Amino acid sequence: MAARVGLTKSDVLDAAAAIVDEQGTDALTLSRLAERLGVRSQSLYAHVDGLTGLKRDLILYALHLQAARVRRSVMATSGRDALMALMNELVLVNREHPGLARLTSWSQPDPTDEAMFDALVEVSEPFTILLASYGLSGDDLAHWRRIIWTSLQGFLSLEAADMMTLPADPDQSVHLLMDLIADGLDRVRITEGAAGA
């Protein structure tokens, strides 16, 4: 097999992302990736540090993608509109990239990896800014970030595993969930406003 000229790390990560989204995270191997790219497996080592390094880089790739999409979704919006836009974008990203979503949701990042830490901060920043606009801070803000994240991720993980077997439309279910979260935060804002009056 002839080596592919001009192969970049971006090409490698794009192809790896396509494999995990199409076939699942367990399907990602260096040989399968090399076959997709039309190169020898050894050629990949110029761009990634083996399979472990590839998965770490792919998590960063997924986090940057998610951060960019979520950040864009809340531009020029505020309050409930921003919250609904953020949650809706999170749902869309997960549905469009189920393999990447699983990889990021079920991986325990190395706490000493500065690039990973920065990427996680980048993802969480839109949540933090939005929840702060509701008057939340400290533990209260952390609780609501967990509620939003785990509620949507749990739903989407079950959906991706084909566990939504009842005839009701899952899309309507997830939008109902989003409305319930938004209603809860609206009540928090009203309570905070009354307390400050």
Q: Which two tokens mark 59?
A: 């998590």
Q: How many residues does the chain have?
A: 197
Q: What is the 3-state secondary structure (H, E, C) of 29-85?
A: CHHHHHHHHCCCHHHHHHCCCHHHHHHHHHHHHHHHHHHHHHHHHCCCCCHHHHHHH
Question: Could you report the per-residue pLDDT of 29-52, keeping only the tens digit for each?
Answer: 999 999 999 999 999 999 999 999
pTM as predicted:
0.86
Tokens linked to 22 = 């199409």
Q: Is 148 helix (H, G, I), strand (E, B) or coil?
A: helix
For domain 59-196, the CATH superfamily is Tetracycline Repressor, domain 2 (1.10.357.10)
Judge whether 150 and 156 are in contact, CB under 8 Å: no
The residue assigned the tokens 């869309």 is 92
Q: Quick check: helix, strand or coil at residue 106?
A: coil
Identical topology for domains 1-48 and 59-196 = no
Boundaries of every domain in the chain: 1-48, 59-196
* 86-103: average pLDDT: 94
pLDDT-derived band of residue 161, with 50, 70 and 90 as boundaries?
confident
- Per CATH, the architecture of 1-48 is what? Orthogonal Bundle (1.10)
Can you give the pLDDT at residue 96?
95
Q: Which of 58, 151, 51 is nearest to 107 (CA)?
A: 58
CA 115 to chain centre: 16
pLDDT score for 191: 74
Q: How many CA atoms lie within 13 A of 178 on its CB side?
A: 20
How many Å apart are CA 56 and CA 104, to the nearest integer? 10
